[in-house]
């Protein structure tokens, strides 16, 4: 993997699954990584595991449904002694419930974690990264472009993430910051399944899912973007396959060719 030496990445939802896979890949590529999650024991275990590899990581336990906590995190990552220049908005909750059974508490929580926190953290770093350079990677899913029964709130939030990302790319086009979305492109452990619950699944059920860490190279490549590509939607598995097939890595043009969506007006 190409080096991210000297970079600081912040990854939300980083204690398990895709978030942990992204955090591990970024750290192994040389970045200092801040892992953000809500479940303290999982976060401690994830951070300890990466630290044991000699990687430079730290943990911040944050409830992204709490607006004041998100504001504090945004201020810290934008103006602290070690500001982040890579932001991976991965945290999400996925309640399975038909619209008629989705109450306002559930609706508000899903939008707070999946969409509002993404917006607030993006807004906190955008101006600085537009000058100094950086990358914002927002994790989406098929639910960001297709509707699914019993996932009303989740679909609404992920559609919002897609629109938010493309609008930000247009607002900051021509600067040194990239805004892109990425979907797994492969079956991985579902959003919101705790490590304890996952370990209790039958072996056959777990074997059907791809290891999220296998998607790590896609996050490393997207973290290198600083102004281009931007406004795109990427399939992480497809990007990984492109990287594996290339002896010299993916140029910006080659990466753009793998994008599912390129926003009109974005470079």
* Residue 198 falls in the annotated catalytic set: no
**Is the torsion defined by CA of 258, 85, 176, 128 positive or negative?**
positive
CB distance 10 to 84 below 8 Å: yes
Burial category of 260 from C-beta neighbours within 10 Å (exposed 0-12, middle 13-18, buried 19 and up)? middle
Cα–Cα distance, 73 to 57 (Å, whole number): 16
**Number of CB atoms found within 10 A of residue 210's CB:** 15
From the list 154, 172, 179, 219, the catalytic residue is 154
For the chain, first and last CA: distance in Å? 25
Catalytic residues: 154
């Amino acid at each position: 993997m190409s080096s991210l030496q000297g970079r600081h990445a912040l990854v939300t939802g980083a204690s398990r699954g895709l978030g942990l896979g992204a955090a591990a890949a970024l750290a192994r590529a040389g970045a200092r990584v801040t892992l953000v999650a809500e479940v303290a024991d999982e976060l401690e275990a994830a951070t300890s595991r990466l630290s044991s590899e000699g990687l430079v990581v730290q943990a911040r336990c944050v409830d992204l449904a709490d607006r004041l906590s998100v504001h504090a995190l945004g201020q810290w990552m934008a103006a602290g002694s070690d500001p982040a220049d890579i932001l991976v908005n991965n945290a999400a909750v996925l309640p399975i419930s038909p619209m008629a059974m989705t109450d306002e508490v559930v609706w508000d929580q899903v939008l707070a974690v999946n969409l509002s926190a993404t917006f607030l953290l993006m807004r906190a770093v955008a101006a600085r990264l537009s000058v100094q350079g950086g990358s914002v990677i927002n994790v989406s899913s098929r639910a960001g472009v297709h509707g699914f029964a019993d996932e009303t709130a989740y679909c609404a939030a992920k559609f919002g993430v897609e629109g938010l990302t493309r609008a930000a790319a247009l607002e900051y086009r021509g600067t040194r910051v990239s805004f892109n979305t990425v979907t797994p492109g492969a079956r991985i452990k579902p959003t919101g399944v705790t490590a304890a619950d996952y370990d209790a699944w039958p072996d056959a059920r777990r074997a059907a899912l791809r290891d999220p860490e296998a998607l790590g190279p896609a996050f490393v490549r997207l973290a290198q973007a600083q102004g281009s590509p931007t406004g795109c939607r990427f399939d992480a598995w497809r990007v990984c396959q492109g990287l594996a097939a290339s002896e010299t890595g993916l140029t910006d043009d080659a990466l753009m060719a793998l994008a599912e969506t390129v926003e009109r007006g974005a470079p």
